[in-house]
Every structure is written in C-alpha cells, then in structure tokens.
Amino acid sequence: MPDDRAIETHDLSKKYGDRLAVDRLNLTVASKQVHGFLGPNGAGKSTTIKMMVGLLRPTSGSLSILGQGVRGDNPKVRRKLGYMPELPRFPKHLSGEELLDVYGRMYGMSKTERKGRIPELIKMVGLEGRGKDRIGKYSKGMQQRIGIAQALISDPELVILDEPSIGLDPVGMVEVRNMVKDIVKSGTTVFFSSHLLAEVQQVCDHVTVIHLGVMRYSGTLDGISSNVFARRRIVIELEKPVDSVLASLKTLKFATAEANMNTYTLHLDTREDVRAEISRAVTGAGGVIVRMQEEGGGLEDAFLSLVGKEGMA
C-alpha cells in the first residue's frame, strides 16, 4: 500500500452518453499536501471528483483513495474522507448544528466527540451564533461554509473540496484559503478544484491542470513555468516602419513575426534569450530600435497556453 499517495487514478475515464467528460486521467496526489485541481468550466473537474467520492461509476479505468481501490459502493473508504460538493445542498429543515451532528453520527463519532467538534467547526467556518438556525435560512455563502464544516466533521485524512470558494465574498475567499492552509498543517491531504488560478496559486504546492477532460499538467506549481512551454513575445518599436525589417525578421527560424505600423511582434518558439540576434537582424535591415520588450512567459501565460487560451481567469 503506497502510504504516500492519497489519490491515484489509472486511465480514469467517464462518458455521459457520447460526451467524454474525463479522458484517461492518470493522477497522483501525494499525502499531506494541498493539491489544486485547476481547469476552466466544463473541464471535467467535478466529474473526476464525483468518481473519487463514489457518486459516479467510472466508464473505464480505476482509482484508489488512501491506498484502497474504489469500486462500487465503498463506505470504508469514505470513512477517512471528507467531501464538500460543488454548490452543496443540505436538508433545509435542519439547523447547521443538527446537520453536523447527524453526519457525525454517520462517521461513528461518539456524543462527546461531536459535542467537542461541532462548536469548534461552526466557529472555524465563521457561523458562530448561526449554528441553531435552519439551513433553509442560510445565505448562499453560509451554506458554502456549513458545507466546508461538514466535510471536516470527522477530522478526515483526505479532504476533497469541489470549488470551495464559489459564492463567497472576497473576505470569505481569503478565509477559505486560510482554512485550507490550517487543515493541511494538521497533516490532512487537501484536494480542491478551482477555475481560479490566483486561488490555487496561493495555497497549493502541487497542481493538476485539466482541460476538456484531458490532463494537461501535473506537478509542482513552480514546475509549470519551466516545464510548460508558454509562448513569449518580443515587441519591438522602431523609429519608423521599414519594410525590409519585417522581411528580415521573417527569416528568423525561432519566431514568427508580424508588423503593425512601427511595432513589430515576434512570437517566440524558443526558451533561449534571443534578443541579441533579433537586434542584429533589425539593425542589419536598417531599422532603428526605440524600444524592445519581452512579454508573456509567466504562470498566467503558462496556464493560458495549457488550456488553449480560452476560458481561464
């Protein structure tokens, strides 16, 4: 049993009718870290997570959670797992505390354990004073908060959160981020999905990027910029437009060039520093450089290039 792997999937696929929502996903999430699951809307994040928590059966492939294979209905695996659904909905007629209490019973928690844990969680998610109110009277953000609390009720080894900060105000988003950091400090593995790069960037050590059901990257956050080829651009401004400059730039093998008035943009196909060569090509063709600047190549650009530039915030 690989102790250091909280989640492992092998060629995990899910089809809805003819639509392939998740395509042969091979994902490994190491224990005791925060792993972000990033992708634009419709990427297949929720579908993957639902297979992990046993709500959906994989069309093909397999997965194991905390060293146990998940096939069919597996309550034993779920005992060590806390899950917060995307836009969770709970019995409206129960109060927040009652909800945590009844779910705590399902985890086999004793009365004393529940009594200790529930107020602690209510406080942690910022619902102090509202624990006795019915969930039906909660705002969207409060329902989200009770959703986080119920995922943590049993002090699980692995917490899976599907877009935990959707519906929260900016303060709430920061609070959730801090909660995630606290959870992982206590030795819990956190796997959470998001379509916000900024959010993932601030809490995760590791990240998996998925787009159209296909895994595009999985590894450390820092590794993205170096491993993922993000297109850099070099923008050159000349004193005045010169036709021969464009012709000369077009002969460069490592870039494609385009011109707009006296501004020339080169889309680089290389990671090397090629500024000297470019400058030589421009001056050789009779151009006078006023400004030369490199753009792109950051984390954001790496993500955009991973997900085909569309839909990534």
Partner 1 sequence: MAQKNRAGTLAAFLAVLYYEFLWNIRKKKIIAIFIIIFAIATVQLAFAPIADAVANPPQTLQANPTFTFDGIAALTGIFLFLVGVATTMNTVSGEFESGTIVPLLTKPVSKTLVFAGKVVAAVTTLLAAYAFLVAYITVGGTLIYGPQDNLNVVPLGILGLTIGSMVWASIALTLGTLSKNSVLAALGSFGFYIGITIAGALIGSFLGASTILFYAPGMGASGTTGACAGLERGGGQTFSTGTDGLASMLMRWVLNPGQVLNFCGFQFRASGAPTTTLLSSDTFANVAFRDLWVSLVYVAGLLLLSWFAFRRSQIAES
Ligand X SMILES: Nc1ncnc2c1ncn2[C@@H]1O[C@H](COP(=O)(O)OP(=O)(O)OP(=O)(O)O)[C@@H](O)[C@H]1O
List of residues contacting ligand X (CB under 6 A): 16, 19, 21, 39, 41-47, 86, 195
90 counts as binding partner 1 under rule CB under 8 A: yes
Neighbour-count burial of 210, counting CB atoms closer than 10 A to its CB (0-12 exposed, 13-18 middle, 19+ buried): buried
300 near Mg ion, judged by CB under 5 A:
no
Long-range contacts of 112-121 (CB under 8 A, 24+ apart): 117/153, 117/155, 118/153, 121/149, 121/152, 121/153
The residue range among 62-70, 87-95, 197-205, 235-243 that interacts with partner 1, by the rule CB under 8 A, is 87-95
- At its nearest, how many Å lie between partner 1 and the CB of residue 66? 11
Any contact of residue 18 with partner 1 (CB under 8 A)? no
- Is beta strand 189-194 parallel, antiparallel or unpaired with respect to 158-162? parallel
Residue 48 contacts residue 22 (beta carbons within 8 Å): yes
Considering only CA atoms, which of 216, 148, 167, 203 is closest in space to residue 36? 203
Question: HSE-up of 61 (CA within 13 Å, CB side)?
Answer: 22
83 vs 264 by CB, closer to ligand X: 83
Q: Which of 86, 113, 133, 294 binds Mg ion (CB under 5 A)?
A: 86
Which residue lies nearer to partner 1 by CB, 135 or 234? 135
Give residue 305's identity as a one-letter amino acid code: S
Give the phi and the psi of residue 235 in degrees, each rounded to 5. Answer: -105, 130
- 194 lines the binding site for Mg ion (CB under 5 A): no
Is residue 17 at the binding interface for partner 1, with CB under 8 A as the rule? no
Q: Does 47 bind Mg ion (CB under 5 A)?
A: no
DSSP symbol at 259 = E
Q: Does 33 bind partner 1 (CB under 8 A)?
A: no
| 73 scored as a contact of partner 1 (CB under 8 A) | yes
42 binds, among partner 1, Mg ion, ligand X, none (CB under 5 to 8 A by kind): ligand X
The piece of 102-110, 121-129, 204-212, 244-252 that touches partner 1 (CB under 8 A) is 102-110
What are the strands of the beta sheet with 255-260, ordered from one edge?
A: 255-260, 263-268, 233-238, 289-295
Dihedral pair phi/psi, residue 168, rounded to 5°: -95, 150
Cross-strand bridge partners of residue 8:
28, 64
150 is a contact residue toward partner 1 (CB under 8 A): yes
From the CB of residue 186, how many other CB atoms can be counted at a distance below 10 Å? 9
- Pair of tokens at residue 170: 């900016």
Closest-CA residue to 37 (of 224, 229, 206)? 206
What are the beta bridge partners of residue 141? none
Residue 133 binds partner 1 (CB under 8 A): no
Least CB distance from residue 43 to ligand X, whole Å?
Answer: 4
The residues in 178-207 that bind partner 1, with binding defined as CB under 8 A, are 186-188
Residue closer to partner 1 (CB basis): 3 or 273: 3
Nearest residue to the partner Mg ion, using Cβ: 46
Contacts to partner 1 by CB under 8 A: 16, 46, 50, 53-57, 73, 75-76, 78-81, 83, 85-94, 98, 102-103, 105-110, 113, 147, 150, 154-157, 186-188
